[in-house]
Amino acid sequence: MIIVTGGAGFIGSNLVHELNRAGHTDILVVDNLAPASNLSGPKFLNLQGALYADYMDKLDFLDSLIEGDFDEEPIEAILHQGACSNTLEDDGQYMMRNNFDYSKVLLHFATEREIPFVYASTAATYGASTAFAVDPANERPLNVYGFSKLVFDNYVRRLAPAFTSPVIGLRYFNVYGPREQHKGRMASVIHHFTRQLLDSGTIRMFEGSGGFKDGEQRRDFVFVRDLARINMFFGGLLPDSPREPVQAVVNAGTGHARTFKAVAESLMAVHGAGKIEFIPFPGDLKDRYQHFTEAEISGLRSAGYSAPLTELEDGVRETFAEEPAARA
């Protein structure tokens, strides 16, 4: 059995579909399908067409784990994508219970049974930094989401010398791809720009900020299918997965930042020409917005992942080849 937490969400559902492509169907999907004010649609639609053995609510799963219901289950890997990823959530207690306490339970369950454990961290751990190597000197989160992930990264790093099985934290950069329509404001700019272009013929992006000119803010945009493959690689689920256990926290990005204008141009190449309009920078994002991100990926490479990463233009084309309805 492979356990995918957050398995109905954006990254988790793409991971389930990618596992299916690799021939894996004995999958336990764990998620929370309760209504949430920050979501713009139901997550369960992301699992249409996917093959998996079972589904559990995240709290039921946690209770079962603690009660020992999984102690005798043969588990190949735990791919932990579940979290509160709303960067505008300010309830620190809620965030820490979801992103830190829950993750600790899974970590100890996995390491005590020597089950490969791959978990989602985030580039939000860098926050105000302009350097993106995995180094405490660069870790300056701007929101409690980034803080919660950093606290867990530090917990893993402190205990890592005692681990005998794979434990990998993946600091996701700016992820895009199919199956993010439910994420509301937290969806990628690729998703938001697409809706604007198709609805009005105009892409609206923030005017210059953080020292960057209009549309020149730069992000490391990483295709979700690449992240699914990276999870599977470190989870021991691919033919070329590491033979020796790896314990590390690494960046999961392309290592190549692209401008918001480049995103708009790649979308127009798919959907047709449109205009760009620059709008004022939102006040509620002040002091919690990353104007520039670019993963330093030497750690990812030295940990053994050598596959090429998808270029923005190719990822955008593949996204909308998989989501033809987005053209309508």
Instruction: Please identify every residue annotated as catalytic.
Output: 145, 183
What's the rounded Cα separation, in Å, for the pair 11 and 26?
18
Is residue 258 within 8 Å of residue 223, measured between CB atoms?
Answer: no
- Residue pair 263/188 in contact (Cβ under 8 Å)? The answer is no
Chain-centroid distance, C-alpha 137: 23
By CB atoms closer than 10 A (0-12, 13-18, 19+), residue 325 is exposed
**What DSSP character marks residue 100?**
I
Alpha helix segments (H runs only) across the chain: 10-21, 58-67, 92-96, 102-112, 144-159, 189-200, 224-234, 260-271, 298-302, 312-322
- 3-class DSSP assignment, residue 252: strand
Phi, psi angles (nearest 5°) of residue 77: -165, 155
Contacts of 103 (CB under 8 A, 6+ apart): 80, 83, 119, 152
Write out the two tokens for 60.
């039921």
d(CA 246, CA 156): 13
The backbone torsions φ and ψ at residue 235, rounded to the nearest 5 degrees and listed phi first, read -80, 0
